[in-house]
Structure formats: structure tokens, C-alpha cells
Amino acid sequence: MNKKKPKDILTPEQFRQQLQSKRETELTDWWLRLQGLNPNAFASVCIEVLQAQQKANELLKSYANLLTPEQLAHIKNFNDRLNDKRKRKKLKPSSAYPILNLCTKIYRQAHKNEMFARQKIQALRNQ
């Protein structure tokens, strides 16, 4: 039977700290996923790519009806590259710009549609 050496045994305080650290890490990972970010990629990619990942997930959740099949494929390709560890290391900030531009385009389109709908409602009220 393997007995642990006295230096390998955790004190109750060390055990509590280790447990608390594990819980906080899990909570942080959950929050990052909720925000549309990959916790595994968080430390290894630049901020532009993280922003693009978050915006891509937001587009898929909220504005999927405004996306064309080509745009959906482009977002899926970007997410696939982020999920693959080797490809993720090769991502540069310039790879995020097309996604961010697409996001801006879709936001403008959504705003335009909303304003058109509001004008239509206002016109119906005034009749």
C-alpha cells in the first residue's frame, strides 16, 4: 500500500483552497460558454478573435433568420477553426475581421427591418 509522504498530504486549509479554486474555475468556464466564448481558447487567441467568436454565436442565436447559407457556412467554418487546437493557434486578428464585418452588416439589416416595422405600425395607427 502506498502511503503518502507528509509533504504530499494536504492540510484542511489547502484542501478547501483547492476545492474553491476548482469550483471557481468551473463557474468561470460556464460563464465564458454562456457569453459565447470557448474556455479552452480563451488564453491562446487574441482579443479580436474572441470578440468575433462571441459575435458569431450571438448572430447564430439571435439573427439566424437574416443570414444567408453562405454566411452561415462562413460562421460555421470560423467556429470549426476555433474548436480545432492546431488551427486555433494559427488564427490571426485578420481572420476575425470578416466575421466582425458580417456582424455589423447583419445588425444594420436588423435595425433597418425594425425601423421599417415601426413605421408600418405607426402608419396603421394613424389611419
Q: What is the pLDDT of residue 47?
A: 87
Q: What is the pLDDT of residue 34?
A: 85
Residue 1 lies in a domain: no
Band (pLDDT 50/70/90 cuts) for residue 5 is: low
Residue 6 lies in a domain: no
Residue 2 lies in a domain: no
Question: How many domains would you assign to the chain?
Answer: 1
Residue 61 CB-density burial (10 A; 0-12 exposed, 13-18 middle, 19+ buried): exposed
Q: What is the pLDDT of residue 89?
A: 84
Residue 73 lies in a domain: yes
Q: Is the pTM of this model over 0.85?
A: no
Residue 5 lies in a domain: no
Q: What is the pLDDT of residue 84?
A: 86
Q: What is the pLDDT of residue 1?
A: 55
Examine the pLDDT at 4 and tell me if it is beyond 70.
no
Range of the domain at 106: 11-126
Residue 4 lies in a domain: no
Residue 64 lies in a domain: yes
11-65 residue pLDDT tens: 888 889 989 999 999 999 999 888 877 787 777 788 899 899 999 999 999 999 9
Band (pLDDT 50/70/90 cuts) for residue 76 is: very high
Report CA-CA distances (Å) from 83 to 7, 24, 39, 64, 102: 39, 23, 10, 20, 20
84-126 residue pLDDT tens: 888 888 888 899 999 999 999 999 999 999 999 999 999 988 8
Residue 77 lies in a domain: yes
